[in-house]
Copies of this chain bind each other. A is one copy, B any other.
Amino acid sequence: MYSGIVKYSYLIINKMKFFEKLETVKKCPVSYVLAVQDTLNAFHGKWKMPIIGTLLFGKKRFKEIEREVKKITPRMLSQELKDLEVNGIVTRTVYNTTPVTVEYELTPSGQELHLVMEAMIHWGLQHRQTNIMESLPALNMGRQSA
């Protein structure tokens, strides 16, 4: 159902599990907490994830992002892009054309976020399989009381 790449990723992640288990997190030095906070910050709010998501496909102009990220207002887009810029996740390049062209692109660091997203995808898919379907009986076999 999912690509071989995902299967491979699953194996890798299982290997990580085997070697690390909770040990890494349990040591939990302060720098780890800061690191997690930074990452959470990168995705913070309703719009950063979809914005980063489209930019993973390549650099884009303001209006292009606005069109691709459904329902976002220019105010929010502007605000979030500024935020991502000061946090070193996207770069903003102004071209001296008429009318001006402004391009947003993920920094190398920003592109690395796809690893976090993949860990999220992995967890989310697994979690849905083992939990959500079971806890919502109405979704199983189309049976429903009353």
A contacts, CB < 8 Å to B:
3, 5-6, 8-9, 12-13, 15-17, 19-28, 31-32, 34-40, 42-43, 49, 53, 56-57, 86-88, 107-109, 111-128, 130-132, 135
Contact = CB atoms under 8 A, between A and B. Distances in A.
16 contacts: A9-B20, A13-B115, A20-B118, A22-B111, A28-B53, A32-B124, A32-B125, A35-B125, A36-B120, A38-B128, A38-B132, A40-B120, A42-B123, A88-B127, A88-B132, A119-B120
B88 A121 contact: no
Total copies of this chain within the assembly: 2
B118 A39 contact: no
A123 B121 CA distance: 16
Given A17-B115, A25-B117, 19 more contacts: A3-B24, A5-B24, A6-B24, A9-B16, A13-B115, A24-B118, A25-B114, A28-B53, A32-B124, A34-B124, A35-B123, A36-B124, A39-B123, A42-B123, A42-B127, A88-B135, A109-B130, A112-B126, A119-B119
Nearest to A26: B57
